[in-house]
Structure 1
Amino acid sequence: MSARVLVVDDIEANRRLLQAKLEAQYFTVLQAENGQHALDVAEQELPEIILLDVMMPGMDGYEVCRRLKANRLTAHIPVVMVTALSDSEDRVRGLEVGAEDFLTKPVDDFALMSRMGALMRYNAVASELRQRQASGLKAGAMDETQDEELHRPARVFIIDDNPRTSARMATMLRNDGHTATTLLEAGDMSNLATMGVDIMILSISAKAFDPLRLCAHFKMTEATRAVSIILVCDPSDRARAGKGLDIGASDVIFSPVDRQELLARVRTQTRRSRYIELLRHRVDRGLELSVIDQLTGLYNRRYMMSQMQQLMQRAVMGGKPVSIVMCDIDYFKSVNDTYGHDAGDEVLQEVAGRLRENVRPMDVVCRPGGEEFMVIMPDTPGDLACAAAERIRRAVASQPFMVSGGKREITITLSAGVATIRGPDDTIADITKRADTALYQAKMGGRNRVESVAA
């Protein structure tokens, strides 16, 4: 896996050194010599990662990072600050303006490549989800409610066999409003999936278990795969920390843990993991909207056709017969004309609800359009389908409908036509035409009745 990396430094020798290290690992390197140049290149080229020097004349790295994160086009590009500064306040300041991490000059090759690998994995997930989201929102565009969700206090689980250090970290987090639970308090990790954990803090120096094996286990387990893992390790144990990043950990904090750095990194990792969760929700919601009728919550015509195709093929290949019930609300136009379209929508929603309550879980209830509904019944011969249609008809006609916000009571009925697959040459058009013919017969026969076309 490779990526395009923007290296920003006002000293050409520094830029060329990083360029050589990155190109040796097959990264594509872009360069910028000052803050404004970096902003321009980032917006035009949209690199996957930005390595940003802090100490630059004119616009320093903090201001550049702040502007990158404020720009919708570049807000989600991971930024790594590269600096000679080692004071924790300088690191925290960078994290607070949106940087993902710091690298200290001279840049260690192992630390650089481990960090690049972790960020590339995050980028791959985020970029794929942004491309696939089907909600109609532009990538990165969030309303105030979503923005608040990203900044909610985190739920943190601390895995450390040292009671003093784990209690100290838990106190730091709780004093900042986060929910923190230690392994020693919980006793075991069996409830991690139900706890809704955002962040796991895992001590590399633990002796009671193998931390890296545990990290790998979390990343292989469905319930914890999306949880961000922050490793805590001694500065002399950077090689194991780098291995943890390769396995899938999101970040590293060196001990002794500084309070400000811990809080800033937890906030950053929580925001990133919730952003990924938000993107996944948008994708799922977009897929749902593509097959769901928004007014009634039933499946739409697109889904109906795909399901009929699959079920009929299964029936033809030796499966049990499939039947369909086509329903139409009687005199629905008069409901709209008399009580208004809002009342008509209420009727459609209530009919949909009664349909759902009177079919089996395996049946597929759809609204192809207008006042027409269809129930696809797998493994169902014609006589059973007729009985089910009659049950639906009675459920609709037996109780009055409340419309106009519950102020009016009206009687609604529906007519239904039933058809069953006839043989291997039967098509969707054939079976729906027979159901439609049966429905027409029910309408002509006086409405509020069920008719079928015999096989």
Structure 2
Amino acid sequence: MSVQGTILVLDGTSTNRIMLKVQLTAAWYHVVQGDRLHGLPGLLRRTRPDLVLAAQTLPDGTAADVKQVVMADPDMVDVPVVAIAPQNDKTARLNALAEGLDDVLAHPFKDTLLLARVRSLLRSRAEAQELKLGGGSQPIGFAEPAATPISPPRSARVAILAQTARTGALWMKALSGRLRHSLSAHTSSNLQALLSGPVADAIVVEVGKTAPGLSPLADLKSRGATRNTVLVAVVAENDTALASEALDRGADAVCMGGFCVEEVVLRLENQIARKNRTDQMRATLRRGIAECWIDPLTGLHNRRYAMQAMDQMARKPSRTGRGFVVMLADLDHFKAINDRFGHVGGDLVLTEAAKRMEHTVGSGGFVARIGGEEFMIGLPDSSRAEAMELAKTVRNCISKTPFTLPDCETPVPVTISIGMTSPNPPLPQNEPLERLIRSADSALYAAKKAGRNQVRVRQSAA
């Protein structure tokens, strides 16, 4: 069986390290050991752990010091650090959470709880890694600054999901004076009330052995709206089996021994801060993906998108028996516009022309800017008459209304030439698009040669 991840164990007591290594290697994790803070940066660079388990007190430091060293490496800011605290030391647990540790486990702990917590933390780590390019510090997309420390949002929505309305009211009252976030309370038997409102950033879930028990956790994690919502489970009594099951069902953190307002507040703040950073990474990913397909000047699709869309369009059989059409459009005498009004004026003409063409083509096809003043239009299902009519409408939307430019008293007339292929049958999978593009380009050349502000058609190249 393959190794599932690398875990660094830091403890000054060798028997503690050995015990953890036995427990973790039995679950097929790769375990690296250390006994002190000194030399930790080098150890981190060599081993690249996915998770760090550190004794709360080391010979030359603390688990909080370990967290700071890990966070100092931009490539490791999403590596969870868990403190190993003395048995039944509630104060030590709260202090560790207050210092920013991702979780606290107390000696002695059962294999089930240890491994459940490891699985949960590694899932979070894997999600963060997927939002990065090549496991480095740069988010997917373009060169971004190195990752910054986790910081909480100004305000978040926190919901309480208790088994009774009375418990929910008591918890809400206890938390209202301790959190800067907005609060709401719901009962587990009426989950729909929670789901019908604004999506919560975090939910505190009361977990018990009686119905509904653990089911809300799995339900919330399986829904698209709440998949990324932080779930903090509150387990009555020190039931390690129930806590382990809660973690495996999707809880991001577990408070054992019932509701403790100090611990719930700390876990909420830590988890919401982590969620905030992950949300920022996710937004960067979406933005990067969008920018890969969008022309930054006009807001149209770019050449990369156009070629991809055209390839899909060309290979797809027509349901109506009509073919697809490729148009290439080029603004006439655009260099003269640039020379007369400067590149700022030229950019304004390009942007306005793009808006007009996009509005004219609508949802029936796509418009992309594929070069300086050159555009591509794709129609997936069109007759020759429909395509010709649309091409003339595109030509007229440019030429019939002159362009207004700043510092220019008289609107500027602009025209466009369009070359198009007649409806083409689906291309074989091994047939390149180049011949089709050349066909449309030849038609565009013919339109230019005919005096510009023209539409010309080239018979199918297929």
What's the TM-score once normalised by structure 2's chain length?
Answer: 0.89
Residue 134 of structure 1, CA deviation? 2.5
Distance 1:389 1:229, change over 3 A: same
Q: Which residue of 2 aligns with 1:449?
A: 454
- Maintained 8 Å contact 2:237/2:258: no
Q: Which residue of 2 aligns with 1:192?
A: 195
Residue 184 of structure 1, CA deviation? 4.9
Residue 449 of structure 1, CA deviation? 2.5
- Maintained 8 Å contact 2:323/2:426: no
- Maintained 8 Å contact 1:359/1:388: yes
Counterpart amino acid of 2:113?
A
Residues 32-83 of structure 1 show CA distances to partners (whole Å, capped at 9, x for unaligned) of 1111233431233120110011122332222222232233132211011001
Number of aligned residue pairs: give it: 450
The 3-state SS of whatever aligns with 1:168 is helix
Distance 1:45 1:364, change over 3 A: same
Distance 2:447 2:228 in 1: 54
Residues 194-228 of structure 1 show CA distances to partners (whole Å, capped at 9, x for unaligned) of 51211111111385x41312212222222222222
Residues 328-347 of structure 1 show CA distances to partners (whole Å, capped at 9, x for unaligned) of 11111111111111221121
Q: Which residue of 1 aligns with 2:302?
A: 300
Distance 1:414 1:171, change over 3 A: farther
Q: Which residue of 2 aligns with 1:141?
A: 147
Q: Which residue of 2 aligns with 1:220?
A: 222
Distance 2:206 2:253 in 1: 12
Residue 317 of structure 1, CA deviation? 9.4
The 3-state SS of whatever aligns with 2:288 is helix
Matched, 1:439 2:441: no
Residue 291 of structure 1, CA deviation? 2.1
- Maintained 8 Å contact 1:52/1:82: yes
Q: Which residue of 2 aligns with 1:49?
A: 51
Q: Which residue of 1 aligns with 2:361?
A: 359
Q: Which residue of 2 aligns with 1:94?
A: 96
Q: Where does structure 2 lack aligned partners over 5 or more consecutive residues? A: none
1:152-191 paired onto structure 2 within 5 Å: 152-175=154-177, 176-184=179-187, 188-190=191-193
Counterpart amino acid of 1:200?
I
Q: Percent identity?
A: 29
- Maintained 8 Å contact 1:66/1:98: no
- Maintained 8 Å contact 1:96/1:264: yes
Q: Which residue of 1 aligns with 2:274?
A: 272
Distance 1:2 1:430, change over 3 A: closer
Distance 2:54 2:448 in 1: 73
Q: Which residue of 2 aligns with 1:336?
A: 338
Q: Which residue of 2 aligns with 1:309?
A: 311
Distance 1:131 1:139 in 2: 13
Greater alpha carbon shift after TM alignment, 112-121 vs 60-69: 60-69
- Maintained 8 Å contact 1:154/1:266: no
1:15-414 paired onto structure 2 within 5 Å: 15-84=17-86, 86-131=88-133, 133-137=139-143, 141-142=147-148, 150-175=152-177, 176-184=179-187, 188-190=191-193, 192=195, 195-205=198-208, 209-315=211-317, 319-404=321-406, 409-414=411-416
Greater alpha carbon shift after TM alignment, 329-338 vs 124-133: 124-133
Residues 368-400 of structure 1 show CA distances to partners (whole Å, capped at 9, x for unaligned) of 111000110011122211110111111122333
Distance 1:407 1:16 in 2: 83
Counterpart amino acid of 2:275?
S
Distance 1:206 1:423 in 2: 63
Counterpart amino acid of 1:97?
E
Distance 1:407 1:136 in 2: 41
Distance 1:405 1:48 in 2: 59
Counterpart amino acid of 1:98?
G
Distance 1:39 1:256 in 2: 38
Residues 267-314 of structure 1 show CA distances to partners (whole Å, capped at 9, x for unaligned) of 111122233322322222222222222221222222222222222222
Distance 1:83 1:326, change over 3 A: same
The 3-state SS of whatever aligns with 1:31 is strand
Distance 2:371 2:154 in 1: 41
The 3-state SS of whatever aligns with 1:403 is coil
Distance 1:361 1:199, change over 3 A: same
Distance 1:98 1:291 in 2: 39
**Over aligned residue pairs, what C-alpha RMSD do you find?**
2.7
> Which structure is higher in helix share?
1
Q: Where does structure 1 lack aligned partners over 5 or more consecutive residues? A: none
The 3-state SS of whatever aligns with 1:229 is strand
Distance 1:108 1:138, change over 3 A: farther
Distance 1:237 1:396 in 2: 72
Residue 454 of structure 1, CA deviation? 4.7
Residue 88 of structure 1, CA deviation? 4.2
The 3-state SS of whatever aligns with 1:262 is helix
Counterpart amino acid of 1:216?
A
Distance 1:304 1:15, change over 3 A: same
Distance 1:406 1:78 in 2: 60
Counterpart amino acid of 1:213?
S
Greater alpha carbon shift after TM alignment, 157-166 vs 405-414: 405-414
- Maintained 8 Å contact 1:173/1:179: no
Greater alpha carbon shift after TM alignment, 114-123 vs 180-189: 180-189
Distance 1:427 1:119, change over 3 A: closer
Distance 1:129 1:112 in 2: 26
Distance 2:94 2:248 in 1: 24
